[in-house]
Structure 1
């Protein structure tokens, strides 16, 4: 890591952890982890992806569903509420592309009451914040090693 975020700003780190826990309090733990894993996939945050994949498994999530999560639209393994939550996750994570389309928000509203929808929105916001901070704090990936040179033709 480039910086020890917890050590350098323990109060902020702790506040963020409390915020994240409060955000997902009204959601099924498995659904919250699916949202966190999907956002981390989209953001390319390896740290959060590993952490939340393990947490999803500990919450009872099926490995086959986690393996197909990136292709959830084409998989029969996800329920209507999960599909609505994942669509909302993708829209919020890629918000610069088209905002959150009305049909995506309306679909989520069909599956979640106002309280649970608010918690879903805050959970998505929290994982995106975690992803961005973790990516910024991590060292840049090392460039791939050059392939070995071919021996001179003899």
Structure 2
């Protein structure tokens, strides 16, 4: 049964297609292997911000807090380029790549690609296999975001309070 609420979930997709959830969970696990957990979490939060996925923002901010990622890094993530000295070169390269892959606009109206300078910056900061994991992590969180936004998944923190 599909339920449409102004601010509630449309469906429990994972209950309806558990094999898709299992596949996504396996993809996520494979993507994150060999990737710095702090960078992985920053990437998940930033992509989720860009995709306006409240469910994933809530989940990954909660996870990041448990990992003791500094609060200021989390608070300023939406403006990471302006927060000089707060993020490492490697984190900045990962965040730039996250934005390019998530948006896929190439920075111009004509292009749908990751700009060479963004990719090269990431390639300078990540060993090739690690870069492959980073790209996979970015693709994975974008897929999770799209599932959660499409079904209007209720963030865990709100669900816990509302009883939904």
TM-score if structure 1 supplies the norm length?
Answer: 0.87
Alpha-carbon distance in 2 for matches of 1:25, 1:101: 25
123-132 or 52-61, which moves further after superposition?
52-61
- Please provide the CA RMSD for this pair: 1.1
Of 134, 148, 152, the residue aligned with 1:120 is 134
Q: Which runs of 5+ in 1 are unaligned?
A: 140-154
Q: Which residue of 1 aligns with 2:121?
A: 107
Of 129, 138, 152, the residue aligned with 2:152 is 138
TM-score if structure 2 supplies the norm length?
Answer: 0.82
Alpha-carbon distance in 1 for matches of 2:21, 2:99: 25
1:2-151 correspondence runs (5 A): 2-75=10-83, 76-98=85-107, 99-138=113-152
Indicate the structure (1 or 2) with the bigger Cα radius of gyration. 1
Alpha-carbon distance in 2 for matches of 1:11, 1:87: 32
Matched pairs, number: 139
Q: Deviations over 1:58-106 (max 9, x none)?
A: 1221111100001111112100000000000000011035421000000
What is the CA distance between 1:14 and its match in structure 2? 1.3
Which consecutive segments of 4 or more residues in structure 1 shift more than 3 A?
A: none
Q: Which residue of 2 aligns with 1:142?
A: none
Q: Which runs of 5+ in 2 are unaligned?
A: 1-8, 108-112, 154-164
